[in-house]
Structure 1
Amino acid sequence: MPKSIADIRNHAAASLSTDKQQMLEQFLTPMEVAVQAVSLFSESTNPLNILDLGSGSGILSAVTAQHSPSGSTVTAIEQDKQLADLSEAAISQGTDKYEIINESVFDVSIDARFDRVILNPPYKKIKPTYISTDCGQIKVTNLYAAFLVTAIEALAPNGECVAIIPRSWMNGLYFSDLRHFLLEKTSIDAMAVYGSRREHFEDMGILQEIMLLKLSRKTQRKTVTVYQDVSAGTPLIKQDHHDFPIENLVFGKEKIVRIQQQDPRLNQFRTLSENGLWASTGKLVWFRNRDIISEKTTSYPLYWAANQKGLVTVHPVTGTRGQWVSADAENRPILQPAGSFVFVNRFTSKEQHRRIHATYLNNPGLFAADNKLNYIHAGTPRKTVPLQDAVARGLTVWLATTIVDDWYREVSGNTQVNATDLRQLPCPSQDQLAALANLINPTNETDQKTIDETVERFFSWTPRNK
């Protein structure tokens, strides 16, 4: 058996099969990340009750115990027998007062008595599940969210929790219940976002954008300490960080959480939905409509992400799925009315130049849009209404600006651009958008500098880089 806590973790990582890791989305915490996570806990002079949910190699609770007063106790829950044994080997080096529970976290009755809860849970998506809390039923769609709710419920008054989780909880409709629960039940004390997706878990092949989240079971603090672009090898206290007022990081009825304050130039705008615009998702799911999709010209054009070129939507294009749907589409709820719209690609890569890729469309007749595209219109969730053409052109330019792209990257660590977040995006009025369209027309060759400089002149902004 390896001797040091770090060696135990590395031994566990080397022993974990790729298939099992991918199936469970289980990423064992490296020593550097464990030390950073534990450093977020407040110092204490009294012995602590420590809980590790899904302890894996035991590295998190072992390091927590090592940095806690003498007499502190650890309870570690791990359903994998091999990992539970490794947890015991690691934790025993931090304290002789411990209990290893070899069961699923969700099969264990956990009292709200813990002063410190630490966890690096699985990141696996699950079917919508409801967890009972004293705040009511909380809907979760990911294992890490279920673990985090369980962790909060296990905290004693003034207890603290540090979790190593993806950033995806901070935005999107799927995590709305979780955000409301956290903001009602806890204080968000600190957030540390890693700059690289691979540096901190380099032997685990992780793809998500990961962060450290510190919560306390008490009334929300006035400020939140935010560490951005964290490097795994340097103590957090030595890395760049700022304290932001909580009200500047949380906004909208969906309680979207940001990692830094909004650019003050955007404060003058209401949200896209408040300006009478609505973002919806394309209605055609290709595998349910394969029988009506054709590569030959038939009744109605079909738009995919591949039809987005520069700031415009072109049709047809070659080298992709069929560009048309047959007249049978009239009997299915997939057709959109003629008129002007803005498409936004739902899926991008982290390294892509623009996270938000918006394109203008003016279609003279009915058409269909793939569900991997969002489309912005002037209607409601139940009714699609085309935009005024000038508004559509101006909105396309606005969504292509660097300031908007930066806004979205600060809101979302996910490469998926969802309609819920678009509705909360700061946006000029429809009259302003129409006026902006008179200054610049979206084309497939409009360059970024021209877009940004035109918008800056229109709103009389001083460029931030000057």
Structure 2
Amino acid sequence: MATEAPVVATDLVLRTEARRQKSSSAIDAEQRSKLGQYFTPAPAAEFIASLARLGAADEIRVLDPGAGVGSLTAALVMRILRDRPGTRISVTACEVAPQLHGILEATLEDCVDTAREFGSHVEVNLVRGDFIAWATKDEGSLSEDRGLFDLVIMNPPYKKLAANSRERRAVAAACTETSNLYSAFMALGVRLLSPGGQLVAITPRSFANGPYFRQFRRYFLDHMHIDHVHVFEARNKVFADTDVLQENVIFSATRTNSPSRGPVIVSTSQSYSSEVRSRTVRYEDMVYPADPEYFIHISADEEDVELAAAHANLPATLPEISCQVSTGRVVDFRSKEHLRPDPTDGAVPLIYPIHMREGGIAWPATRTKKNNAIMLNGDTRKMTFPRGYYVIVKRLSSKEEKRRVVASVFDPVETPCERIGFENHVNVFHCGGEGITKDVARGLCLWLNSTILDRFIRRFSGHTQVNATDLRNLRYPSKCQLSAIGRDWPQGALPIQEKIDDLVERHLQ
């Protein structure tokens, strides 16, 4: 039996993979987008299951929310049967899509039958419905049928949650505020874990930073210890047979209320079958103890560590260079009656991302549906800034742009005006609501457009947006260094990238 067991268990995964492939091809792109659901390929499922800590208990209680066709459950059952024969396994699998219930039921029955061949026992409970509704019922107490679980294993759906949605309100009432379906699943998974229980998941990396996941991160880090994080170097290898190019991570974390934090294993690979490189980092190097944003810094390799060290060694915070950064104050759809397509008497420039060009501002813009001006009056004055030098950064960068951070200087000499409006799709560097000095503005623009900053943002940010919160949490060259960089910027358009990097490197030495 010992020699046959791995073969039989592997067959369980292969049969489940055949069901996944058949089901995946039967769901069209519109349905997939509506559900936010991407099934877990067998190599991914086995890799995720390998991170589970099985312990020595006689029974393992497993929860698989958003189970799909049951790929994660099958891979985990396979591993338990192989590594902990004789262990009783209790599985609760939740799935909202009715068209998947029959297939998921077949996988669960396959798990039961395979375990029986091993002389083991698997008990299954299929929840045919919405996981969030099931997990938050009778809020304040956990019913017997729901229980607490030793292991939660998940590939949750990815989809934004509207602020007034039923799901978002339910999760907020149960545990924490969050803005995406995947983090809602994670939060409820944490809530349903027994003390010392483990969560193992594959999710987008975007929860690790940015303002939208701040409250979720606080809840997660207050209740969980991150044990292991795995990063893929190629985005298209994670869900190889789908169109998903999400920046994903696989991680495991343990339910704990202990303030002590042990080391974290960080591993990387090109794909599931390629060599895995692992190293150990201190917990406080991943989650800074005094960080009010609760950012999770995932340093995948030694190059990441060097980048993090270079960033940490920069001399200044934003307040130390007398700067603040804010999202543009003009939300155009809320100010329609004040906007004008062209400059006119009584109006001031309104700057959108389309006005940013080669490190400067090209205003007014032609051949655009965007407005160029905003009327200056009692309602709009508070939305504008006084005449001065400002640095603006696009909040969203297009695929064609080479850098994640795209910055320009607003020069009041080039664009004469009494005041300026900055639209909500740009971030604005200012000094207490007023302009900053010319040399600091120019040096800051070059720094933000440098390759070293781009590498840092790409390595440590899991989303494509550049939020004001992210910019506030960066460190910067000193005011003197920025002024020196700015003075060396020759008049005219933004220098070529090699020149920018040379100027930055020279003045940071």
TM-score exceeds 0.5: yes
SS state at 1:300 partner: strand
The residue that corresponds to 2:134 in the other structure is: 108
* TM-superposed deviation, 1:166: 0.8
Report the CA distance shift for 1:255/1:326 in structure 2 as closer, same or farther (over 3 A): closer
Pick aligned residue for 1:191 from 202, 208, 229: 229
Q: Which amino acid aligns with 1:103?
A: G
The answer to whether the 8 A contact 1:145-1:178 is kept is: yes
SS state at 1:193 partner: strand
* TM-superposed deviation, 1:5: 0.6
Give the Cα–Cα distance (whole angstroms) in 2 for the partners of residues 309 and 445 of structure 1: 9
The residue that corresponds to 1:272 in the other structure is: 318
Report the CA distance shift for 1:123/1:396 in structure 2 as closer, same or farther (over 3 A): same
Pick aligned residue for 1:67 from 51, 62, 79: 79
Report the CA distance shift for 1:185/1:73 in structure 2 as closer, same or farther (over 3 A): same
Give the Cα–Cα distance (whole angstroms) in 2 for the partners of residues 205 and 147 of structure 1: 22
Q: Which amino acid aligns with 1:122?
A: P
The residue that corresponds to 1:417 in the other structure is: 466
* TM-superposed deviation, 1:221: 4.2
SS state at 1:73 partner: strand
The residue that corresponds to 2:298 in the other structure is: 259
Alignment of 1:21-420 (within 5 A): 21-46=32-57, 47-68=59-80, 69=84, 70=86, 71-95=88-112, 96-109=122-135, 113-128=148-163, 129=168, 137-218=175-256, 219=258, 221-228=261-268, 230-234=269-273, 238-251=275-288, 252-260=291-299, 261=305, 262-268=307-313, 269-273=315-319, 275-298=321-344, 299-322=347-370, 324-327=372-375, 331-332=379-380, 333-349=382-398, 352-363=401-412, 364-365=416-417, 366-379=419-432, 384-420=433-469
| Alignment deviations for residues 304-333 of structure 1 (CA, whole Å, 9 cap, x no partner) | 212222222222333323452253565324
* TM-superposed deviation, 1:444: 2.4
- More moved, 62-71 vs 141-150: 62-71
Report the CA distance shift for 1:442/1:59 in structure 2 as closer, same or farther (over 3 A): farther
The residue that corresponds to 1:464 in the other structure is: none
Gaps of 5+ in 1: 461-466
| Alignment deviations for residues 238-262 of structure 1 (CA, whole Å, 9 cap, x no partner) | 3223222221222431011122145
Note the aligned Cα RMSD (angstroms): 2.5
SS state at 1:139 partner: coil
Q: Which amino acid aligns with 1:425?
A: L
* TM-superposed deviation, 1:340: 0.8
**Greater percentage in helix:** 2
Give the Cα–Cα distance (whole angstroms) in 1 for the partners of residues 154 and 175 of structure 2: 22
The residue that corresponds to 2:4 in the other structure is: none
- More moved, 398-407 vs 125-134: 125-134
Give the Cα–Cα distance (whole angstroms) in 1 for the partners of residues 26 and 396 of structure 2: 34
* TM-superposed deviation, 1:125: 0.9
TM-score (ref. length: structure 2): 0.82
Give the Cα–Cα distance (whole angstroms) in 1 for the partners of residues 213 and 89 of structure 2: 34
| Alignment deviations for residues 402-456 of structure 1 (CA, whole Å, 9 cap, x no partner) | 2211221122121111111100011123333223322335742402222222222
The answer to whether the 8 A contact 1:163-1:214 is kept is: yes
SS state at 2:161 partner: strand
Gaps of 5+ in 2: 1-12, 113-121, 136-141, 300-304
Report the CA distance shift for 1:82/1:404 in structure 2 as closer, same or farther (over 3 A): same
* TM-superposed deviation, 1:61: 1.1
| Alignment deviations for residues 19-54 of structure 1 (CA, whole Å, 9 cap, x no partner) | 221112111111121111111112444431111011
Aligned residues: 451
The answer to whether the 8 A contact 1:114-1:155 is kept is: yes
SS state at 2:266 partner: strand
**Greater percentage in strand:** 1
SS state at 2:177 partner: strand
- More moved, 175-184 vs 122-131: 122-131
The answer to whether the 8 A contact 2:149-2:197 is kept is: yes
SS state at 1:150 partner: helix
Q: Which amino acid aligns with 1:159?
A: G
The answer to whether the 8 A contact 1:190-1:214 is kept is: yes
The answer to whether the 8 A contact 2:227-2:263 is kept is: yes
* TM-superposed deviation, 1:158: 1.8
The answer to whether the 8 A contact 1:301-1:323 is kept is: no
Report the CA distance shift for 1:331/1:132 in structure 2 as closer, same or farther (over 3 A): closer
The answer to whether the 8 A contact 2:365-2:372 is kept is: no
The answer to whether the 8 A contact 1:37-1:164 is kept is: yes
Larger Rg: 2
Q: Which amino acid aligns with 1:377?
A: H
The residue that corresponds to 1:20 in the other structure is: 31
Give the Cα–Cα distance (whole angstroms) in 2 for the partners of residues 422 and 456 of structure 1: 20
Give the Cα–Cα distance (whole angstroms) in 1 for the partners of residues 333 and 172 of structure 2: 39
Give the Cα–Cα distance (whole angstroms) in 1 for the partners of residues 409 and 460 of structure 2: 24
Give the Cα–Cα distance (whole angstroms) in 2 for the partners of residues 102 and 419 of structure 1: 41
Note if 1:4 corresponds to 2:15.
yes
Give the Cα–Cα distance (whole angstroms) in 1 for the partners of residues 491 and 64 of structure 2: 53
Report the CA distance shift for 1:351/1:116 in structure 2 as closer, same or farther (over 3 A): farther
Give the Cα–Cα distance (whole angstroms) in 2 for the partners of residues 324 and 412 of structure 1: 32
The answer to whether the 8 A contact 2:64-2:153 is kept is: yes
- More moved, 195-204 vs 449-458: 195-204
Give the Cα–Cα distance (whole angstroms) in 2 for the partners of residues 415 and 9 of structure 1: 30
SS state at 1:9 partner: helix
Report the CA distance shift for 1:212/1:329 in structure 2 as closer, same or farther (over 3 A): farther
SS state at 1:126 partner: coil
| Alignment deviations for residues 142-191 of structure 1 (CA, whole Å, 9 cap, x no partner) | 11111101111111222111111111101111111111112111111122
Give the Cα–Cα distance (whole angstroms) in 2 for the partners of residues 163 and 274 of structure 1: 39
The residue that corresponds to 1:463 in the other structure is: none
